[in-house]
Structure 1
Amino acid sequence: MAAKYVGGCEHVKVSADAEPYDNHECHCNVCKDVTGQQSTHCAFFRYADVTVDHSDRMKRMPYNKDNPDGPLELCVCAECGSPLMVDDKQRRIRVEVPNLMGFDDANFPKVTYHAFWDETKGYPKPDDGLPVYDGLKPDFVWPEPA
């Protein structure tokens, strides 16, 4: 039986059967730098809910170039360079950006809020009816490490 969410590339498959732990539209500068998008649909999964079929074929690099020793790593395919996921060295979450990581974005639940927006971004505050926060939503709690 196929997993509910499947992405990756022809060399490395990434999948999850569980629903995202957190699902938001991110406006942070790190996501902007990494994705080239003004805002990014980020689906946080609990670490153990995401499986990778050939993790030995992944190349890891710091997610935040200004904090290279930080907890998040961008994982790309070592063969074709496709982005696969953002991995948490503390084993709390794995992040998927559906439209860039080989997933069907339409298959994901709609985002529930906007994160890391601030008025210095140079564009209007989102007005789609979703809550807008200057960080993760106030009741967000990091999951326990796997």
Structure 2
Amino acid sequence: MSQHKYQGGCAHVKVYSDAEPIDNHECHCNVCKSVTGQHTTHVVFFNHGDLKASNEGAMKRVPFNANNPDGPLEICLCTECDGVLMLDDKQKRIRVAVPNVMNYDPAPGPATYHAFWDETKGYPKPNDGRPVYAGLRPDFVWPKGA
């Protein structure tokens, strides 16, 4: 049984939130594909202060995008076991969970839309009834950073 509404991480560092996510999508971007090895990736954004780690001192950080190592997102890994814990935004706007990679139990509900899909992907446009966008959903507003 979980102590928090949403919880993931590894045996050494728990990542958790009692707040609702601000975005929940199925990502089709090439960076997610290269990092996870998945065709699409269920991605959940939280306000930066809403997703916490039990021991941030036990996290090492690596660039999320190998082609943009100075970009805003970093992958946080456990220093003990290299477990993937979260994506952290250096601008302190969001923190990101990938429920199936970061061992979430319970996990935020299913993605509500498809993001970053385009015709050059080489596969048909998703037709599962969820909206499909070339970027994030049009009404998404980035939170203010620190």
Shorter-chain TM-score tier: over 0.9
Amino acid of the structure 2 residue aligned with 1:37: Q
CA drift at 1:104: 2.7
Measured against aligned partners, the alpha-carbon deviations of 1:61-119 in whole angstroms (never above 9, x if no partner) come to 000000000000001111111100000000000000000001036x4222111000011
Task: List 4+ stretches of structure 1 deviating above 3 A.
Answer: none
Q: Tell me the equivalent position of 2:131.
A: 131
Structure 1 position 51, deviation (Å)? 1.0
| TM-score computed with the length of structure 2 as normaliser | 0.96
The equivalent residue for 2:111 is 111
- 1:67 corresponds to: 68
- The residue that corresponds to 2:8 in the other structure is 7
Counterpart of 1:116 in structure 2: which amino acid? Answer: F
Q: Percent identity?
A: 64
Partner of 2:120: 120
Partner of 1:141: 141
Count residues with an aligned counterpart. Answer: 145
Q: Please tell me the residue identity of whatever aligns with 1:130.
A: R
Distance in 2, matches of 1:139 and 1:131, equals: 13
Residues 25-60 of structure 1, C-alpha deviation per residue, up to 9 Å, x if partnerless? 000000000000010000000000011111111110
For structure 2, which runs of at least 5 residues remain unmatched after alignment?
Answer: none
Task: Classify the secondary structure of the residue corresponding to 1:84.
Answer: strand
* Pairs within 5 Å for 1:52-91: 52-91=53-92
TM (normalized to structure 1)?
A: 0.96
Matched residues in 1 for 2:79 and 2:124: separation?
A: 38
| Residue of structure 2 equivalent to 1:27 | 28
CA distance in 2, matches of 1:104, 1:15: 10
Letter of the 1:96 counterpart = A
What's the RMSD between the two structures over aligned residues? 1.2
Structure 1: gaps spanning 5 or more residues: none
